[in-house]
């Protein structure tokens, strides 16, 4: 049987469907691509730039706040350090005062020695007696061996490290000497190098008063000027700057050792400066209190030199040398 041939059409229904779907896809792609137009991209870039600018502004604000906080923290740290330093100083003063209090309340009989008389001594001289009697007093005018007829007092105190180690004891002896003179016309206090305790009163007399004495005692607790442990400088400076023929002056030298050269040269220097008058009296009296350099064993050579120098100097210059020992502390 013969087979019948089919007619093949070039554009069938299926082909047309494919063509339509393709055009539809192209149209859809064109519609979707509208969101990526240049206008949309430019707006997005502007928004991002504004966001970055805002974030940078916030960053600058944070950095500024951080700087302010760091400065405030630095101030607080500095104030804390100053407070700690002040507390340390106050604690040191408290320990010193407590030690002095304990010492004064000790019933040890060894403390009641000759220099204890200084605490109860009082000047008994009237103006008439001062005018009539010579500079060298009679033995009954001395307390604990130290004459108390002077109207002006100068302290020359060794402020070296060895003396700082027993500074509470030095403060106690200074207070006792001041108590010997209930009222004087002028005071001055310097170290053995001639450096004044109160710089504003350098070269002048300080008028005596209870407030001045209290200020001296308070300043003693923190006084730490440089010292070379050579009292001759302070003694020379005091005589040259404060001697006057119308004033009765006493020097009180506090020290524990002598680091200078020849003792004889120092004595000759003081003799030339603190000359005698026609009655054999010196311009100023020189007293000295020697503190032990150490509290055990044989005294050092420098300590012995100080004691020997002061003993001879005080004898030549109408004064008294008092050597303290550990048991007198």
The residue with greater pLDDT, 81 or 34, is 81
Question: Tens of pLDDT along 96-118?
Answer: 666 555 554 544 444 343 444 44
State the Cα–Cα distance between residues 211 and 202, nearest whole angstrom: 18
State the Cα–Cα distance between residues 223 and 258, nearest whole angstrom: 20
* Residue 139 belongs to domain spanning: 109-328
Across the chain, mean pLDDT equals: 78
State the Cα–Cα distance between residues 148 and 313, nearest whole angstrom: 18
Tell me, what's the pLDDT at 37?
57
- Domain check: are 156 and 69 in the same one? no
- Domain check: are 100 and 113 in the same one? no
Q: Is the residue at 125 inside a domain?
A: yes
Domain edge (last residue) among 85, 105, 125: 105
User: What 8-state DSSP symbol labels residue 109?
Assistant: G
pLDDT tier, 324 (very low <50, low <70, confident <90, very high otherwise) = confident
Q: Is the residue at 27 inside a domain?
A: no
The answer on pLDDT for 134 being more than 90 is no
pLDDT tier, 184 (very low <50, low <70, confident <90, very high otherwise) = very high
- Domain check: are 117 and 94 in the same one? no
Closest CA to 154 of 266, 283, 281, 271: 283
- Domain check: are 135 and 180 in the same one? yes
* Pairs from 129-133 (Cβ < 8 Å, separation ≥ 24): 130/248
Beta bridge partners, 206, equal 187
Question: Tens of pLDDT along 276-289?
Answer: 888 888 999 999 99
Q: Is the residue at 94 inside a domain?
A: yes
The answer on pLDDT for 93 being more than 50 is yes
Q: Is the residue at 63 inside a domain?
A: yes
Q: Backbone phi, then psi, for 43, in 5-degree steps?
A: -60, -40
State the Cα–Cα distance between residues 89 and 83, nearest whole angstrom: 10
Strands 186-191 and 152-157: parallel
| Residue 133: both structure tokens together | 């009697």
- Domain check: are 101 and 114 in the same one? no
Q: Is the residue at 31 inside a domain?
A: no
Which DSSP string corresponds to 61-79? HHHHHHHHHHHHHHHHHHH
The answer on pLDDT for 127 being more than 50 is no
- Of 127-131, 155-159, 294-298, 319-323, the one with minimum mean pLDDT is 127-131
The residue with greater pLDDT, 113 or 78, is 78
- Domain check: are 273 and 183 in the same one? yes
Domain edge (last residue) among 58, 86, 105: 105
| Stated pTM of the model | 0.58
- Domain check: are 90 and 207 in the same one? no
């Amino acid at each position: 049987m013969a087979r019948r041939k089919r007619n093949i059409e070039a554009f069938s229904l299926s082909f047309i469907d494919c063509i339509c779907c393709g055009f539809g896809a192209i149209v859809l792609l064109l519609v979707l691509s509208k969101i990526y137009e240049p206008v949309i991209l430019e707006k997005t870039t502007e928004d991002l730039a504004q966001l970055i600018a805002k974030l940078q502004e916030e960053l600058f604000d944070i950095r500024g706040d951080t700087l302010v906080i760091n400065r405030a923290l630095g101030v607080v740290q500095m104030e804390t350090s100053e407070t700690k330093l002040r507390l340390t100083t106050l604690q040191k003063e408290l320990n010193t005062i407590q030690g002095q209090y304990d010492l004064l309340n000790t019933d040890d009989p060894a403390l009641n020695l000759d220099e204890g008389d200084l605490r109860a001594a009082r000047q008994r001289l009237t103006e008439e007696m001062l005018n009539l009697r010579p500079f060298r007093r009679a033995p009954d005018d001395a307390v604990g061996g130290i004459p108390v007829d002077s109207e002006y007092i100068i302290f020359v105190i060794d402020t070296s490290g060895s003396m700082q180690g027993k500074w509470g004891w030095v403060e106690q002896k200074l207070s006792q000497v001041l108590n010997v003179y209930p009222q004087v016309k002028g005071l001055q206090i310097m170290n053995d190098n001639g450096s004044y305790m109160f710089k504003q009163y350098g070269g002048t007399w300080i008028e005596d008063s209870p407030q001045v004495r209290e200020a001296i005692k308070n300043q003693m607790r923190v006084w730490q000027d440089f010292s070379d442990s050579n009292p001759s400088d302070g003694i020379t400076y005091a005589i040259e700057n404060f001697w006057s023929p119308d004033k009765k002056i006493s020097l009180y030298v506090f020290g524990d050792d002598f680091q200078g050269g020849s003792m004889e040269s120092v004595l000759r220097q003081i003799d030339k400066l603190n000359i005698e008058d026609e009655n054999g009296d010196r311009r100023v009296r020189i007293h000295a209190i020697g503190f032990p350099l150490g509290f055990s064993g044989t005294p050092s050579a420098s300590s012995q030199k100080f004691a020997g120098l002061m003993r001879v100097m005080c004898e030549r210059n109408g004064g008294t040398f008092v050597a303290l020992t550990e048991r007198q502390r």
